[in-house]
Amino acid sequence: MPELPEVESVRRGLAEARIRAEVVDTWRSREKMRMECDPRALIGARPGALRRRGKYIVWEMAPAKGQPLGLLLHLGMSGRCGIAAAGDPRALHTHLVVSFGDGRELRLVDPRRFGGYRVAPLAELLAAAPLAELGPEPLDPDFDGELLAARLGRSERGLRDALLDQRAVAGVGNIYAIEALFDAGLHPLTPAARLRASAWDRLAVALRDALQRGIDNGGTTLKDFRNVVGEVGRNQDDLRVYGREGEPCPRCGRALRGFVHGGRSGVYCPFDQSARRVR
């Protein structure tokens, strides 16, 4: 699933496309998606700022009359969002097309249809679920160990699972949680409630660093992820532990160990991420 760095890479790609022409048409497939609506309210609107909230993209749109609109995009498990010329063939599993007056189109492709889109007045979009239910952004300047402990410090869930709760921390998925826990030297299955303040501080820094590396590398492509121009990310080459079960730990050289919990796999170093290390 695209996580915060992949979604941020898409947001930046859309912003770099500098689309300013108004929306002249929209099209949607007949296949049901997890989140969808009639997108025709966008016709006549001019695209504005692009923002990211967690794993969601919000594209502000200014209609000729009335209040500002927002186009909410979610990539789900396998979604891709790109810009194409109007005459280019549409990829299989295209579910949304927004056509602009300059001959370009925004296209949302999602083979598994776990993602989707929504169009609504911007203020309403920001104040309602799912955006209103999201936790703090881990890349915000005020995100630190104290805030992370306040969100997760009473949870009896393992740290990896606790970090995946979007209501607690926005945008973190399995890949970057596993990487951050390795960097912080914390066992993925340690109950969050056991951590002391210094461990939360360490984890907050590691989480920010892991996410920023992912953004700097253009995201992680394990299977489906592509950016706006169809390129794969580079961060999979820099992953320290995720997907490297049985390989030497980059810190101590011992074999990394895999695990499955809650239906999700992970990797850790049994020496550097001891379950007893909570301070």
Q: Active-site residues: which are they?
A: 2-3, 55, 264
The rounded distance, in Å, linking the Cα atoms of 275 and 105 is 50
Residue 136 makes CB contacts below 8 A (sequence gap 6+) with: 143, 147, 151, 169, 170
Give the closest residue to 21 by CA, choosing from 88, 106, 80: 106
Work out the number of other CB atoms within 10 angstroms of the CB of residue 150. Answer: 12
